[in-house]
Chains A and B, each alone.
Chain A
Amino acid sequence: MNDIKNIKLTGFVKAILKKEYPLYISKNFSSKVMKQINKPVREYNFFNYGLRIASAMTFAVITLFVMDNVLTDKIQYSKSSTINQEILSPTRNVANQMEKCEDVKDSIQSSDSLQCK
């Protein structure tokens, strides 16, 4: 009987005698724990840190590109009149700005008023 097995059985005997035993134990319990212990720890050096930032930025750029090109409808504006023409692309109602303008000569222009052309 090898040492590890002997230690395991002695442990079982002691647990049973002390009445501190579970109903069952996985046969590979100790190897599972040892596997966790021997698992290599990932080191974060400058290269890994830079790689993480670069991948995050790439993901952000791709996401923005997709959002800009795929998720929004393209609206085409026409210079000529579209009355009596078949409209093929999505449309939006646009009103010309017809707000009252102010002559700069007459008075001091306020920041929110339009200047006459």
Chain B
Amino acid sequence: MQDDDKPVLDEIINGNISKYEIIINKYQARIISLCFRYTKSYPDAEEVAQEAFLKAYNSLNKFRFESKFYSWLHRIAINCSLNYINSKEKTKEKETISENSGLTEHKGVASVETPYNAYNMQIMAEKIESVYNSLPEDLKLVIKLRDIDDLSYDEISKVTKLPTGTIKSKLHRAREILTRALEKYTEDE
């Protein structure tokens, strides 16, 4: 199975520890979001996510690349979250939590004040959604197939009947437009 993270992970395994920051930055939002579904508290979700990233790092030598790295990290994060729930004796909550309970939870806590020194993802999401909707249809389709539906380049090629090189180029252009829209929210770094 082709994993985009393999080259970076190989470097980390060979001793270039600093490259792990790439992995953290790439997946932090999704992993914290996953942990939040279990912890129901953002500070706790970050703590559990931190533990998950640490566990993944410490077990990296055991990762055999038989699945995608994110799937493996996802499983570790779920285990850490379940350990958190068990340690907090929240077994009743565990029964009601579904992995697919999703984002609807944000609606109820949207008014929560963003802590100092944190990214307000709600504002970023509103911006991204509006930029995404204004993208040309071909770029929107490529982004949807690759980043939302997680299709491989070959699969996208079959769907769109475009060569892989063209798909990569369109994807790069679409991502650039979207990331540029977020730049002003991270300018203070």
Q: Which residues of A contact B (CB under 8 A)?
A: 1, 3-34, 36-38
Chain A nearest CB: distance from B79 CB in Å?
17
Q: Are the C-beta atoms of A24 and B57 separated by less than 8 Å?
A: no
Q: Are the C-beta atoms of B46 and A26 separated by less than 8 Å?
A: yes
In the bound complex, how far is the Cα of B103 from the Cα of A6, in angstroms? 25
- Contact count A vs B, C-beta below 8 Å: 145
Q: Are the C-beta atoms of B29 and A25 separated by less than 8 Å?
A: yes
Set of chain A residues within 8 Å of B143, measured between Cβ atoms: 17
What would 8 A/B residue contacts be, using CB atoms closer than 8 Å? A6-B179, A24-B114, A25-B121, A32-B50, A33-B20, A37-B17, A37-B20, A37-B54
Choose among B20, B29, B183 the residue that contacts A22 (Cβ–Cβ < 8 A): B29
Set of chain B residues within 8 Å of A13, measured between Cβ atoms: 128, 147, 175, 178-179, 182
Secondary structure type dominating chain A contacts: helix
Q: Are the C-beta atoms of B54 and A33 separated by less than 8 Å?
A: yes
Set of chain B residues within 8 Å of A11, measured between Cβ atoms: 25-30
Q: Are the C-beta atoms of A24 and B121 separated by less than 8 Å?
A: yes
Q: Tell whether B186 is near chain A: CB-to-CB under 8 Å.
A: yes
Q: Are the C-beta atoms of B42 and A22 separated by less than 8 Å?
A: yes
Chain A nearest CB: distance from B177 CB in Å?
10
Within 115-132 of B, Cβ neighbours of A (below 8 Å) are at 115, 117-122, 124-125, 128-129, 132
Set of chain B residues within 8 Å of A6, measured between Cβ atoms: 179
A1-B183, A26-B118, A27-B118 known; A18 and B26 CB under 8 Å?
Answer: no
Q: Are the C-beta atoms of B119 and A18 separated by less than 8 Å?
A: no
Q: Tell whether B22 is near chain A: CB-to-CB under 8 Å.
A: yes
